[in-house]
Structure 1
Amino acid sequence: MIDQTIFENFEKEVAYQKHMLENLGRWFSLLFVVASIGVVLAYSFYQRIFPLFFFGSLLIILGVLGMILFGYGIYKGRANLNQFMDYMETKLSKK
């Protein structure tokens, strides 16, 4: 009875963490698009229209910094999920 409840909660937690990792992946993709738009703006308006070049450079910086942040979050989240799954598998296999 208790083992079944623990196993169901384990499955729910793993599914939830996988869903959150997918959400982080979507944000990473969005920031990649933002950085790409910044590259296009900076390249297109280099030495022509300074405000658009500056805005493009700002988008590149924000996009790359966000990608680094979310990429690190994805990396640590996957490591945490794998560690949690290994721990629960050893805990459930002992019983």
Structure 2
Amino acid sequence: MTNQKMIKGYETEIAYQKHMIENLGRWFSLFFIVSSIGVVLFSLFHHTNLWVMVLGLVLIIIGSLGMILFGYGIYRGKKNVSKVIEDFEFKLSQSR
């Protein structure tokens, strides 16, 4: 494998992983919005309507679990990108 192919491959992989982290960030934002809607429903209807209050509680739980899941995915993804970059720098220093 030539240096140019290796460099191009690593750059492509790093760009792809960064793009996937951005996608995870969008999902995180979506679950944050779901959780926020749940908080609003719960706080507005906790005395008047039991079913809407329960719906709000369910949305809070689903949103919180989604935020935990995707937050962890973002954390692990960033660690993985840094490992790929370190490996790329190591291979570049070895090839020179």
**Whole-Å separation in 2 of the counterparts to 1:5 and 1:90:** 16
TM-score by length of 1: 0.97
> Identity rate of aligned residues, in percent?
53
Deviation at 1:92, TM superposition (A): 1.2
Flag as ranges the 4+ runs of structure 1 deviating above 6 A.
none
Residue 73 (structure 2) pairs with residue 77 (structure 1): no
Structure 2 segments unaligned to the other structure (5+ residues): none
Deviation at 1:93, TM superposition (A): 1.2
5 Å matches for 1:1-95? 2-95=2-95
Q: How many residues align?
A: 95
Q: Which has the higher contact order (CA 8 A, sep 6+)?
A: 2
Provide the aligned C-alpha RMSD in A. Answer: 0.9
Deviation at 1:50, TM superposition (A): 0.5
Structure 1 segments unaligned to the other structure (5+ residues): none
